[in-house]
Chain A
Amino acid sequence: MADPEIKSYEPMHDNPSAAVTESRSARTVLMTVAFVFLGIFLLLPLIIVFKEAFAKGVGAYFASLNDHDTLSAIHLTLLVAVIAVPLNVVFGIAAAWAIAKFEFKGKAFLTTLIDLPFSVSPVISGLVYVLLFGAQAMLGPWLKSHGIEILFAVPGIVLATVFVTFPFVARELIPLMQEQGTGDEEAALSLGANGWQVFRYVTLPNIKWGLLYGVLLCNARAMGEFGAVSVVSGHIRGMTNTMPLHVEILYNEYNAVGAFAVASLLAGLALVTLILKTVLEMRYGAELAATRGH
């Protein structure tokens, strides 16, 4: 009875969005291009990293990781991340809080400033510290006379890393906190909570998934940063080499297994980050929805 009507609707069901006019073949081509591109430029290198790392067997892989300089590089990378990430969590929350919840002069300027590390080449970021703390620079002599080493030492590497990774947490939290507004905080205040209690019991739980997401990205970048760290580290083996720098040194010495073994650790970190990021997005997509931006 209703057959003709149903038929007339069928083409619509085939193509749920009437505005999408591309034919099936065009869509197939677009998708194939995307997958082939990602395969060649992302997946293939990843496979090669692991293939090269294990080229001389599992024994050689672990032996090269057990090298003194390599262990030192891993240790330094972890140390830098352990210092830089918590600092950026504190800075990030403070900056996001200020921008999202208060009105003040220079707010737009502060927002732009937060993005600065994203828009400046990391090498330049590193160079800034050399110009600031180097032997011929402004603060160099004063620091030297007080026995403080920043450049070509751990403090310099930490500073450069903090600078480069600063935006991750803040950028993640600002849109989230702006969307949530100040209603919950006002409610908590009206119930008698003090500033710390408001933060601990209300603000922090409201932003925890966004914060975790930001920390994850921040950590990945802190451990993987090359440019800025390369400029300030001085490449002292076993002393100021982080993992990415160490990979380069080993590779330049034709130690392929060693270089790719360390690289495989970084690749593994990237994979873990990616998986955690996906899990977070799947489970808390709605809460993170406001924060798509990188």
Chain B
Amino acid sequence: MEVRVANVRKEFDRFPALRDVSLDIRSGELIALLGPSGSGKTTLLRLIAGLERPTTGKIFFGDEDASSKTIQERNVGFVFQHYALFRHMTVADNIGFGLKVRHGATRPSNEEIRRRASELLDLVQLSGLEKRYPAQLSGGQRQRVALARAMAIEPKVLLLDEPFGALDAQVRRELRRWLRDIHDTTGHTTVFVTHDQEEALELADRVVVMSQGQIEQIGSADEVYDTPNSPFVFGFIGESSSLPVRITDGQVWIADRPIGLSAPNHPAGDALLYFRPHDIELLDGCSGCIAGTVAASRRVAGTRRVELEIGGERQRVEIELPVDHIATQKSRIAFRPSRWKLFPVKSTGN
């Protein structure tokens, strides 16, 4: 089922949580809403679900306008951040709940509900736990039950709010792979909210990066990582360093020195230079480079992160070096970004 969010605005007590958000979700797609807290990602998810009503704008399920439909009518599967399992019901009763509350001819027999529940338990790899209560399950198991319960109603769309937020790192990674598998098997259109970029990039077909109630960028993991379209996205996704620079005659300058990067299409004036700590080349001499004094150096997994102070302003940037690289012994390092992007200073609201 395709979902289309069209110019949606949502205010809480006149405070705008979402400002004019539009988003097309393709059928069968796995989409991540990624952003810091307060960016409006959960609000957008709840609007799609029907747990909230938009202040203005519309939400379409397929060609149908779902804006005025209740959450019951929308038939969405919603997995809550803290699972919201019914604590007084067994696992099987939790999963069967959505079928049990149906009316008349659409309500399956008890036999059928039990069969569906144990089928879904097989799917989420929890066979045999039908009779347990939520309190007797681990966090990861509860998460799976919550997903099975949401899928029991054969939803048009599956919505997950911070699905792995309450789990420890090890379980998170396992469940991530598992959710991808489930998605590929069942083919549900799925939207999940996360503030964890690693989770979003690894899991989603497309990532929607949000900030301050607006969508900053929509794209595949490669697109948002390799070609971020704003300083916010560059800074939020992956590691990044930035330096204030000046563009003169198509050349990038720091203070009074050109750094050997040319930007012929960029308008002259002040700008911000963004690059990834690992996208650099080290240089020996320095005619056209960025040179800095080593301020700090720390070991991060297989690499060494070196913090440099650049120029008289003592701007700090981070670069990444191989652990045993000779440069890590030096007190001054010269380098030049190999992949980089310039943003005009005006647009840096952050």
What is the interface of chain A mostly: helix, strand, loop, or mixed?
Answer: helix
Q: Is the CB of A186 within 8 A of B72?
A: no
Cα(A186)–Cα(B78), bound, Å: 9
Q: Given A183-B80, A183-B82, A194-B72, is A188 in contact with B88 using a C-beta cutoff of 8 Å?
A: no
Q: A191-B97, A201-B101 are in contact. Are A186 and B51 (CB under 8 A)?
A: yes
Chain B CB within 8 A of A205 CB: yes
Given A197-B101, A201-B97, A201-B101, decide whether A192 and B75 contact each other with a Cβ distance below 8 A.
yes
Cα distance, A32 to B75, chains bound together (Å): 64
Are the C-beta atoms of B71 and A189 separated by less than 8 Å? yes
Q: Which residues of B contact A187 (CB under 8 A)?
A: 78, 80, 84-86, 149
Q: How far is the CA of A6 from the CA of B80 in the complex (A)?
A: 49
Bound Cα distance from A189 to B70, whole angstroms: 9
**Chain A residues within 8 Å of B97, by CB:** 188, 191, 193, 201
A191 to B76, CA, bound (A): 8
B26 contacts partner chain A, Cβ-Cβ < 8 Å: no
Does B314 sit at the interface, judged by CB under 8 A? no
* Chain B interface main SS type: loop
- In the assembled complex, the Cα of A193 lies from the Cα of B73 at a distance in Å of 10
Taken together as a complex, chains A and B put the C-alpha atoms of A51 and B274 apart, in Å, by 90
Closest beta carbon of chain A to B48's beta carbon, Å:
11
B72 / chain A contacts, CB cutoff of 8 Å: 189-190, 192-194
The complex places the Cα of A201 from the Cα of B98 at a distance, in Å, of: 11
A188-B97, A193-B101, A197-B101 are known contacts. Are A206 and B87 too (CB-CB below 8 A)? Answer: yes
Residues of B within 8 A of A192 (CB): 72, 75, 98, 101-102, 153
User: In the complex, what's the smallest C-beta–C-beta distance from B70 to chain A, in angstroms?
Assistant: 8
For B82, the chain A residues whose CB sits under 8 A away are 183
CA distance A197 to B153 in the complex (A): 16
Interface status of B228 (Cβ within 8 A of chain A): no
| B contact residues, range | 20 to 34
Bound complex: CA A77 to CA B153 (Å): 50
Check A115 for interface membership: any CB of B closer than 8 A: no
**Chain A min CB distance to B25 (Å):** 18
Structural contact, B51 and A190, CB atoms closer than 8 A: yes
For residue B259, CB closer than 8 A to chain A, the reply is no
Q: Are B80 and A186 in contact (CB under 8 A)?
A: yes
Would you call A202 an interface residue if the criterion is a C-beta within 8 Å of the partner chain's C-beta atoms? yes
Provide the residues of chain A in CB contact with B78, threshold 8 Å.
Answer: 186-187, 190
Please tell me if B213 contacts chain A, counting CB pairs below 8 Å.
Answer: no
CA distance A190 to B74 in the complex (A): 9
Q: Is the CB of B88 within 8 A of A191?
A: no
The 4 closest A-B pairs by CB, nearest first: A191-B98, A187-B84, A183-B84, A190-B78
- A187-B85, A189-B51 given. 16 additional CB < 8 A pairs? A183-B80, A184-B84, A184-B86, A186-B51, A187-B78, A187-B149, A190-B49, A190-B72, A190-B77, A190-B150, A191-B150, A192-B153, A193-B101, A201-B86, A201-B101, A205-B88
11 contacts between A and B (CB under 8 A): A186-B80, A187-B149, A189-B71, A190-B49, A190-B72, A190-B77, A191-B101, A191-B149, A192-B102, A194-B72, A205-B86
Enumerate chain B interface residues (CB-CB to A < 8 A): 49, 51, 70-72, 75-78, 80, 82, 84-88, 97-98, 101-102, 149-150, 152-153
